[in-house]
Amino acid sequence: DAGVTQSPTHLIKTRGQQVTLRCSPKSGHDTVSWYQQALGQGPQFIFQYYEEEERQRGNFPDRFSGHQFPNYSSELNVNALLLGDSALYLCASSWWGVNTEAFFGQGTRLTVV
C-alpha cells in the first residue's frame, strides 16, 4: 500500500500564474482533504471532497478550487498566485461516514516568486 501520494514534491511558480497539485488517496479511502501549511504554522484546512463534490470548505478565497475524480484522486488548483500562497500543501485521505484518523501525504512545497 503506497499510502497517500502527492505530486509534484516541489514546485516554483511566478506570481499571477496558476498551479495544479495532485493527490492519490490511500487504497480504500474515498475522501480527500487539502491543507495549506505556511512556514512555522500548523496546517489550515482548505476543503474536502467526497463523491466528486466539495463537502466542506475552510476560509480560503475562490482562487482555490479542487476536483475529485471517479478513482477518488484529487487536484487542487490555485489561480492568480500570490507570494503568500507559498507553503507546503498537504493532502489527507480518509473514509467518509466513519470518523477515523486521516492519513497525510508528504506534501507539495510550492514557492511563488
Partner 1 sequence: GEDVEQSLFLSVREGDSSVINCTYTDSSSTYLYWYKQEPGAGLQLLTYIFSNMDMKQDQRLTVLLNKKDKHLSLRIADTQTGDSAIYFCAEGPYSGGGADGLTFGKGTHLIIQP
Residue identified by cell 493527490 is 23
Cβ–Cβ < 8 Å for 83, 17: no
- Which is nearer to partner 1, 7 or 17 (by Cβ)? 7
Phi/psi region, residue 28 (left: phi>0; alpha: psi -120 to 50; beta: rest), is left
The nearer residue to partner 1, 46 or 112, going by C-beta atoms, is 46
Asked if 63 interacts with partner 1 (CB under 8 A), we say no
Residue 71 or 100: the one with the smaller Cβ distance to partner 1 is 100
Among 48, 66, 87, 110, binds partner 1 (CB under 8 A): 48
Does residue 101 touch partner 1 according to CB under 8 A?
Answer: yes
68 binds partner 1 (CB under 8 A): no
Q: Is 31 in the site for partner 1 (CB under 8 A)?
A: yes
Angstrom CA distances, 111 to 34, 49, 69, 104, stand at 17, 25, 26, 20
Instruction: Please say whether the beta carbons of 104 and 89 come within 8 A.
Output: no
Binding site for partner 1 (CB under 8 A): 4, 31-33, 35, 40-45, 48, 50, 55-56, 58, 90, 92-107
